[in-house]
Amino acid sequence: MSSGDTRKLDIEKIGDVTVATFTDKKILDETNIQIIGNQLFGLVDDVGSKKILLDFSNVEYLSSAALGKLITMDKKVKGAEGKLRLCTIRPEIYEVFAITKLNKLFSMHENRDKALEGF
């Protein structure tokens, strides 16, 4: 499928942590979210990463469908006995997590360095 060719995540390895930075400013529409979801799940299913850090520094918009995908990702990582952390979330986006109380579900960190501490 050609949609799989669109890179939605920049992947880096820092020690044993896989850092995935979202490349899109808007994670809103279903098609994009589906692609992003597949690329995220691939980190667990294909790459076998156990420690995954999602960097939101580019993200300006995030819809409820994207939140749903992150929840599924969190379950997948936990199911593989891994750990998922989120970092560098701008205030408007943090508010989206806070309104839906998902800030209680996810391990959220101010920046990359803080997220990597004790990971």
Partner 1 sequence: MAFNEEFEVRIPSDTAEGQAVQERIIALLEKQQFSARDVFGVRLSLEEALVNAIKHGNGMDPEKQVYVGCWVDDEKARIEIEDQGPGFAVTDVPDPTADENLDKPCGRGIMLMRAFMSRLEYNETGNRLLMERLKNQPDNDDD
Using CB under 8 A as the criterion, which residues of the chain lie in contact with partner 1 when the complex forms? 28-31, 60-61, 63-65, 67-69, 71-72, 74-75, 92, 95-96, 99-102, 104-105
- DSSP letters, 58-88, are T--EE-HHHHHHHHHHHHHHHHTT-EEEEE-
In angstroms, give the least distance from the CB of 30 to partner 1.
6
Q: Which residue's CB is nearer to partner 1, number 57 or number 72? A: 72
Backbone angles phi, psi at 59, to 5 degrees: -85, 120
Determine how β-strand 51-55 pairs with β-strand 17-22.
parallel
Of the candidates 94, 54, 89, the residue with the CA atom closest to the CA atom of residue 74: 54
Quote the CA–CA distance of 17 and 114 in Å, as a whole number: 13
Q: Which residue's CB is nearer to partner 1, number 55 or number 74? A: 74
In angstroms, give the least distance from the CB of 97 to partner 1.
10
Q: Which residue's CB is nearer to partner 1, number 12 or number 95? A: 95
In angstroms, give the least distance from the CB of 101 to partner 1.
4
Q: Which residue's CB is nearer to partner 1, number 12 or number 110? A: 110
